[in-house]
Amino acid sequence: MNSESSAEKARSAEIVIHHFFSDLVGWLELQASKDGVRSISFVEAPESLSAASDDPVISELLMQLDAYFAGELTEFSIPLAPPGGTLFQRRVWDRLMAIPYGETRSYGEIAVEVGVPKGARAVGLANKKNFLPIVIPCHRVIRSNGDLGGYDSGVAIKQKLLQFESRKNRH
């Protein structure tokens, strides 16, 4: 028996999927609904490419991603679908959005900022559950010793994003 409610089915039916390519990080799969951006995922090259989207949320996200990767946008202003996650994860994600472009914070600093001073590992786990990398910039969180730490889509991508923002921030 399928336990998915009719409301959940209707909501999932509203999801629009689009693919975006960046020379910096490769392919991204973008998902949106009428509520806002639902997820951004790093993916292998898709088997088929999305046609131009007439979905207003996807169109706005594409414009903002283009501007970000051109070095013209430092803060996203796209509407986000309700994120789910735990209260702690949402508090961490809110703090990530406050990290200025081109800067980093340590997992421990974020833990202190969200009121859990010994919660650096929990911050790392919340980052791993981030449904909107780049827009919610979990790549800006590093270890207290300056090492990059982990990144769900690979440390190489995290390093590229940090180097990109660092170069653009110096000009």
Bigger pLDDT: 89 vs 55: 89
80 domain-assigned:
no
Largest CA distance in the chain: 58
Claim to verify: residue 47 and residue 105 sit in the same structural domain: no
pLDDT, the chain, mean: 88
Rounded to two decimals, the pTM is 0.86
pLDDT value of position 94 = 95
pLDDT average, residue stretch 94-105: 96
pLDDT tens readout for residues 65-88: 999 999 999 999 999 998 789 999
Claim to verify: residue 110 and residue 143 sit in the same structural domain: yes
Domain interval for residue 151 = 87-169
pLDDT average, residue stretch 35-55: 84
Distances (CA, A) of 161 to 6, 9, 24, 42, 47: 40, 36, 8, 13, 25
CATH number assigned to the domain comprising residue 121 = 1.10.10.10
What span, in angstroms and rounded, lies between the C-alpha atoms of 56 and 79? Answer: 11
Active site residues: 138
pLDDT value of position 15 = 83
106 pLDDT more than 90? yes
Report how many domains make up the chain. 2
Least confident of 17-21, 103-107, 126-130: 17-21
pLDDT average, residue stretch 130-147: 95
171 pLDDT more than 90? no
Residue partners of 66: CB distance under 8 A and separation at least 6:
none
At 11, the pLDDT band (50, 70, 90 cuts) reads very low
